[in-house]
Amino acid sequence: MLEIADLRKSFPPAETGGARAEIVRVPAFALGAGEQAALRGESGSGKTTFLHLIAGILAADSGRITVDGVVMTSLGEAQRDRLRAQKLGYIFQTFNLLQGFTVLENVQLGMAFGGGVDKGRARELLGRVGLGHRLNHFPNQLSTGQQQRVAVARALVNRPKLVLADEPTGNLDRVHSRAALELIREVCREYGAALLLVSHDEEVLRQFEKVRDFKELNQAVQ
């Protein structure tokens, strides 16, 4: 599903405040179809950059990322956008919901740039995450836990092959954190999506069978 080889990313001095700094150097990483794995990493370790590279939001300096058989690193930006829209789901720590859009619209936008909008599927998934009665609410009318569930629904509505989750429970308390994590893993399983989650929370990491330490994975000198 996901294969990474010799991936490198550095930022120019303007962004690092000094000499060009290498943030990511991952010689190899792989994740099978439907597999769920977690990466342990502290703040500033480059794990978000790593996920951005996999998602095609950032272009790698060198190396190779293959998603569902497509070599993303050989694609132009527009093609990466299309691949992201079709095959990837992204769950952010801060949820990144569009505040001016309703719950249903936020989820519909998750498929708007990929295979096309299926309102029925969006409703169904929102029902699945327990928000069937909040379709026309706006994000600021929801609790933090409910917002997280919208983000989960948005990431999965397009039936992605791979879901990337960046500290998805970082803004939730312990009780909601556990519930949110269970929901993410469960829905990914149901939809057959592989899950790559990064977190520094041991409580979260303990729930994964496959956990990699990003410090070991990332050989960039920081």
Q: Does 94 bind another protein (CB under 8 A)?
A: yes
The least distance separating another protein from the CB of residue 49, rounded to whole angstroms, comes to 5
Q: Does 47 bind another protein (CB under 8 A)?
A: yes
Name the amino acid, one letter, at 45.
S
Q: Does 49 bind another protein (CB under 8 A)?
A: yes
Q: Does 156 bind another protein (CB under 8 A)?
A: no
User: Under a CB-based contact definition with an 8 Å cutoff, are residues 116 and 71 in contact?
Assistant: no
Q: Does 107 bind another protein (CB under 8 A)?
A: no
Dihedral of alpha carbons 132, 133, 136, 139, sign = negative
For 40, the enclosing helix (H) or strand (E) is: strand 36-40
Q: Does 75 bind another protein (CB under 8 A)?
A: no
Distance CA(70)–CA(170), nearest Å, equals 31
Write out the binding residues for another protein, residues 181-220 only, by CB under 8 A: none
Nearer to another protein, 62 or 94 (CB): 94
Q: Does 77 bind another protein (CB under 8 A)?
A: yes
Kindly indicate which of the ranges 29-37, 84-92, 124-132, 172-180 contains the residues binding another protein, using the contact rule CB under 8 A.
Answer: 84-92
Q: Does 85 bind another protein (CB under 8 A)?
A: yes
The least distance separating another protein from the CB of residue 114, rounded to whole angstroms, comes to 6
Nearer to another protein, 49 or 73 (CB): 49
Which residues bind to another protein, rule: CB under 8 A? 11, 23, 41, 43-49, 52, 55, 57-58, 77-78, 81-82, 84-86, 90, 92-94, 96-101, 105, 108-110, 112-114, 117, 154, 166
